Structure 1
Amino acid sequence: MTDYLQTQERILELRHQINHHNRLYYVLDAPKISDEEYDALLRELQKLENEFPSLVTPDSPAQRVGAEPLKTFGIVKHRKPLLSLANAFCKEELREWHKRITKLLPGEKISFVCEHKMDGLAVALTYENGVLTTGATRGNGDEGENITNNLRTIRSLPLTALGNFPQRFEVRGEVFLPKTNFDKLNRERERDGLPIFANPRNAAAGSVRQLDSKVTARRPLDIFIYALGWAENDQLPDSHWEMLEQVKSWSLKLNPNNRLVDTLDAVEQYYDEWVEKRDNLPYEADGIVVKLNDLSQQERLGAASREPRWAIAFKFPAHQATTQLKDIGISVGRTGTLNPYAILEPVFVGGVVIKQASLHNEDDIRRKDIRIGDTVVLQRAGDVIPQVISPVLEKRKANSLVFSIEDKLRGSDGASHCPVCNERIVRTEGEAMYYCPNAACPAQLAEKLEHFVSKQGMDIRGLGERLAVVFMAEGLVKDVADLYDLKPEQLALREGMGEKSGYNIVVAIERSRTRPLSNIIFALGIRHVGGETAAILAREFGSLKLLSEA
């Protein structure tokens, strides 16, 4: 018993020391001991916990190495929704936002908190009695995936809060991969013959969604907390800035570049400063976030279309580069649209190698006068979606031709055909798009199937968009209706699937029959009907039968 009590005392002492040095190193950037000394403390703790497993607790720093692999992520219902932000792309749009909120708060003094818009993954973290108990992704804003084990591996995230904290509280933060860590990770993957990550955000998102948290533990992730979601049994501050300072006192890590300002001019100065310095940041940021500081003003302004009126994301200008347009390809969309896309000489833009880019439609190509063989200006819009902006006319070859979808797809019979099913293409008068009119076109069926099983549609978990298309390629399904005729024994025969996986997929398909009407309407893939329109139609008609008769 004496050995047990002594070990328990030593374990508590080691945890205290390691948590202290974690905070100094990862949060305050002020280490007091060498890496070797830190490793010795951690190894001693791991050894003692292995010898006395009954003394292991979830908040132990030795448990950051990862837990046993999961078979699937659980779902966490957010107590308060994680909202998206409206965007401003120029100062005029920022000023319009400022004008709207001052009109809604007549005569009131307002101030703002400016923060970097991190290019990472938003998460919600719940602490109970100071211990991290749950970590979840943003998901659809109302519910996300339970990634607690993975988040526990992030060294800068305290497993136990310090100071005078509420009994239960939730903070929101952004998980990211610093640029140097991203470069190191990709060098290691390249050395090991693994595919490299396209950008730090993809690497961070992929890391926190590993079913095996030991994989996550090997990824050098970081996190900044940007808000207090909710708290129980405690008097909260009156302002966002004071709230951040309170969160910081609990040992949670904030972005040191946050700034409290009193005027719109100061907001614009903050933006201009970081536009100039963005490439020197140790992490990827694609803009700034501007928030009203007064929490009562935030409460009164509320939200519209799941976007808070009291905050806005002011995006940095897109990164640009020039490269050669080698060809223009044509893909077939879910509704039969023929979508031109640029095939480019690979070029590095804003941290990502770009090989293809959107060209929207033939009218847009001609408006911009983009031709095959041109040197073109390419940009990542919002630092995410690559777009061809314009040709560099002084580098154009004399024999270049104006692009035409009909010419591109013209066959030996003189007619223009779908590149997938060879059906003659059509263009409705007054529309910008060409279409393949063949509803049985394999490309359309594949896109429809992907759309149908997607999360916003029927959300058939375990099936997934890619696997649904594989089923079609293998002849298991020919349209979405065939999904509901699948049997577990059919799927069990597939290589690498097995009886249990086949059964789970069939159960998920059956469960999708209870999806809300708005999701079913969206899943049908009706032209021009997105999520919002589907919700309106569901409210208006109440059933598919009444909608079909309208």
Structure 2
Amino acid sequence: MDLQQAEMKIRELQTLLHQYGYEYYVLDKPSVPDAEYDRLLRELIELEEQYPQFKTPDSPTVRVGGAILDMFEKVRHKSPMLSLANAFNEDDLRDFDRRVRQAAGDDASYVCELKIDGLAVSLTYEEGRFVLGSTRGDGTTGEDITANLRTIKSIPLKLRENVSLEVRGEAFMPKNSFEKLNKLKEERGEEPFANPRNAAAGSLRQLDTSIAASRKLDIFLYGLAEAPNLDIESHSEGLDYLDRLGFKTNKERRKCSSIEEVLDFVNSWVEKRPNLDYDIDGIVIKVDSIEMQEQLGTTAKSPRWAIAYKFPAEEVVTTLLDIELSVGRTGVVTPTAILEPVRVAGTTVQRASLHNEDLIREKDLKIGDKVVVKKAGDIIPEVVNVLPEQRTGNETDFFMPTHCPECESDLVRLEGEVALRCLNPKCPAQIREGLIHFVSRNAMNIDGLGEKVISQLFAHKLVEDVADIYKLTAEELLALERMGEKSVSNLLQAIDRSKENSLERLLFGLGIRHVGEKAAKTLAQEYETIDRLAAATESDLMGINEVGEKMASSIAAFFEQDEARELIEELKAAGVNMEYKGPRRAAVESADSIFVGKTVVLTGKMEKMSRNEAKEKLEALGANVAGSVSKKTDILIAGEDAGSKLAKARELGIEIWDEERLLEEIEK
């Protein structure tokens, strides 16, 4: 085959594969078997390897992935990617409708669309070719994830018209892809993703594009951002135009002429939501007319012509199969409901915490009961109540044991506590849970040492305390199930990196009773080294504002133990840092920062940084970061999808900032 023939064959295969891909991934109407598509793709890959000069950026072969990126470049959006204001009930939607009609006229109509629970992205095309894809970021600046987005087969690499435009959409992971991915992660002993949204976001931020390609992501496009010279007068026309260009839009949308029709659409999807192959967390309602949208305008954060209705927490009925007991690192015995598997708010639920015996008695739970289950905040599964009218007489009562299910020691209930506790310090469950806590994200953050790997190490007697983690060898790790050379190498590097952590992470990881993450930071700032902290008396510790009598007694008792002192020496010998690396307490208190002495609450999703990162930065500037809103709160930082905390802050007249304002103040 000469060069001209090679080029013609490559162009022919590219065109054919684009068409077949469009039919399969966008129209869901494949015209050829998978085997034929795969055969043609292999032929194209071979030809492009032989004649690389004819491979184009929009070739179907780029979807395979394989490129390793150094980093994600920042991208400034031509027009802001604003977040949407939220509605939580019918009254909120009627208020939105009233505001729209007062400002833009009574003839307003709406387009209702499913709110996909994924990652917002922007796609830019030049003369019909996909040239840039980015995340939302802070709404003004995102990250260039073009290489990973090219691996999503429902994103057209070449449009059906040679137009230049920017479109917005939501990338997501279908439920079946999510379940397969988590099954694979569990088989490898890795921590599974919490939900499809996190899985999609994590996939698109992989520097190895082959990882994104392997995770079978999908996308729905929901609007035009920049489309000069297009004669489009409504949002619904814009969606139809995206269809004609070859984009995948969500067909489950409806044009509504009244708020009653909007409410009818919303209510219908509350019921139909579980039947979808992807997660939705609400309905987006947009004014259809572009002219009216421009008339209504936007606030600094969100458009006045659109709103997102958030579904109430989904409740489902399942069977309580059993109640299982687990022993935590502090010896507390916690009952857990074992449920007949049921899908709730996007994931399959089989377990739910019952907290303590009193809750079981309060809810009158019996093994075999039909129970109502929901996810608190769409995250944590909980048993809402029992359905006694559905009892058959075969249900059985549950009684808490008198002895530890792990070590057979007596269980006790300490004064003032509702929990039963095992006081045996050598209880295997407590040791194992302590190890899991030590390596967790907010403690020493050793990536790759998940619960399953720790359990294997403990069962094989390779680790008996946290110091043993720093003695692990490649040979020992390779002998474990599902631990290959690459994962072992990555794990040993993560263990080595953890030696450099600042002191507060180590203190939190040691699991000293009553010392949480915030108290560990306070102690590290105050004493600066672990030796100074170990030498502090109970009276010294009580002199710190944030340290009470119980905590001071617990800290002093911990460092008086021979075992604790020996453990510290072992960690020192392994090279673990014992000093505080952050800003000194005195420096924070005297700093010229508006946050000094302020009580700040964080809520909603942050785009530019995680909530933990924001918390660390605020505390370094002297703020007290609290978990709930009260009259003592000075500032509420509201990210995307802020809920009840934002409502309470407004009610109390508390100063409210968005993430952009926070970043401005932090960077001053």
Q: Answer whether TM exceeds 0.5 for this pair.
A: yes
Partner of 1:160: 158
2-structure distance, mates of 1:180, 1:539: 39
Q: Secondary structure at the match of 1:531?
A: strand
C-alpha deviation, 1:28, in angstroms: 1.0
Partner of 2:577: 475
2-structure distance, mates of 1:305, 1:67: 40
- Alignment of 1:114 onto 2:73: no
Q: Which residues in structure 2 correspond to 1:508-523 (within 5 Å)?
A: none
Partner of 1:173: 169
Aligned residues: 449
Residues 335 and 354 in structure 2, CA contact (< 8 A), matched pair in contact too? no
Q: Which residues in structure 2 correspond to 1:54-453 (within 5 Å)?
A: 54-105=53-104, 107-163=105-161, 165=163, 167=164, 169-232=165-228, 234-304=229-299, 306-320=301-315, 344-345=336-337, 349-350=344-345, 351-353=347-349, 375=365, 378-381=373-376, 383-384=378-379, 407=417, 443-444=517-518
Per-residue deviation, residues 49-107 of structure 1 (Å, max 9, x unmatched): 111222222211111111421232222222222222222222222112212222222x4
Residues 336 and 352 in structure 2, CA contact (< 8 A), matched pair in contact too? yes
1-structure distance, mates of 2:233, 2:57: 33
Question: Per the alignment, do residues 409 and 197 of structure 1 end up closer, same or farther by CA in structure 2, a change over 3 Å counting?
Answer: closer
| One-letter amino acid of the structure 2 residue matched with residue 129 of structure 1 | E
C-alpha deviation, 1:202, in angstroms: 2.4
| One-letter amino acid of the structure 2 residue matched with residue 82 of structure 1 | M
Q: Secondary structure at the match of 2:138?
A: coil
Q: Secondary structure at the match of 1:23?
A: helix
Residues 81 and 142 in structure 1, CA contact (< 8 A), matched pair in contact too? yes
| One-letter amino acid of the structure 2 residue matched with residue 121 of structure 1 | L
| One-letter amino acid of the structure 1 residue matched with residue 2 of structure 2 | D
Per-residue deviation, residues 462-500 of structure 1 (Å, max 9, x unmatched): xxxxxxxx99x94365263169x9xxxxxxxxxxxxxxx
C-alpha deviation, 1:390, in angstroms: 6.5
Per-residue deviation, residues 273-332 of structure 1 (Å, max 9, x unmatched): 22222221121112211111011211222233512221111222312258799899999x
2-structure distance, mates of 1:114, 1:382: 24
TM-score normalised by structure 2 residue count = 0.57
Question: Per the alignment, do residues 193 and 399 of structure 1 end up closer, same or farther by CA in structure 2, a change over 3 Å counting?
Answer: closer
Partner of 2:636: 530
1-structure distance, mates of 2:186, 2:419: 39
Partner of 2:35: 36
Partner of 2:454: none
| One-letter amino acid of the structure 1 residue matched with residue 580 of structure 2 | K
C-alpha deviation, 1:197, in angstroms: 3.1
Question: Per the alignment, do residues 100 and 523 of structure 1 end up closer, same or farther by CA in structure 2, a change over 3 Å counting?
Answer: farther
2-structure distance, mates of 1:90, 1:326: 37
Q: Secondary structure at the match of 2:583?
A: helix
Q: Which moved more, 1:263-272 or 1:11-20?
A: 263-272
| One-letter amino acid of the structure 1 residue matched with residue 517 of structure 2 | A
Residues 164 and 250 in structure 1, CA contact (< 8 A), matched pair in contact too? no
Identity %: 39
Structure having the higher Rg? 2
Question: Per the alignment, do residues 524 and 213 of structure 1 end up closer, same or farther by CA in structure 2, a change over 3 Å counting?
Answer: farther
Q: Name the Cα RMSD after superposition.
A: 4.7
Question: Per the alignment, do residues 265 and 404 of structure 1 end up closer, same or farther by CA in structure 2, a change over 3 Å counting?
Answer: farther
Residues 124 and 170 in structure 1, CA contact (< 8 A), matched pair in contact too? yes
Q: Structure 1: any 5+ residue segments left out of the alignment?
A: 332-341, 360-365, 412-419, 421-437, 450-469, 486-514
Q: Structure 2: any 5+ residue segments left out of the alignment?
A: 366-370, 390-394, 401-412, 422-436, 438-511, 524-570, 588-612, 626-632, 639-654
2-structure distance, mates of 1:344, 1:311: 42
Residues 171 and 218 in structure 2, CA contact (< 8 A), matched pair in contact too? yes
1-structure distance, mates of 2:661, 2:282: 37
Partner of 2:51: 52
C-alpha deviation, 1:187, in angstroms: 3.7
Per-residue deviation, residues 232-289 of structure 1 (Å, max 9, x unmatched): 4x23411100111112211111011112121112112212222222221121112211
Question: Per the alignment, do residues 405 and 393 of structure 1 end up closer, same or farther by CA in structure 2, a change over 3 Å counting?
Answer: farther
Q: Secondary structure at the match of 1:68?
A: coil
